[in-house]
Amino acid sequence: MPYKLVTNSGNSSTMQDQPPVALTPIQAQGYTIVGRVTSFNLYLMWQPSISPSFSVPLYILNWSMSGTATLGSAGWQAAGTTVKPVPAPTTGYPTWSGIAVIGASYTCQ
């Protein structure tokens, strides 16, 4: 999936990927704390400008995040960490284990 470029400065560019967790349904079920630990593989792909062509992988960035949200008298309070990825050259293509539908609801296990 293409990502929106957040900043571009010289030879450095950044983007953001912030997978959300909806807290309202969790609160409605009576929970007062929720946690999430997950990891991702992000591929930097290059699309040649000639036609016909297809995207080729250049780099892979493996990253992870963990966090908790606790419901207290002042509302939800969040805490967490993200591991900053280090790009590694790759010739491997991304693979998927399933299809995520936009707007669908998923249960984390």
Other CB atoms within a 10 A radius of the CB of residue 42 amount to 16
pTM above 0.85, yes or no: no
Would you write out the chain's pLDDT as a tens digit for each of its 109 residues? 556 656 666 666 666 666 677 777 777 788 888 888 888 888 888 888 999 999 999 999 888 889 899 999 998 898 998 887 888 999 999 887 877 777 766 554 4
Q: How far apart are CA 35 and CA 84, in angstroms?
A: 20
> What is the chain's Cα-based Rg?
18
Q: How far apart are CA 27 and CA 66, in angstroms?
A: 20
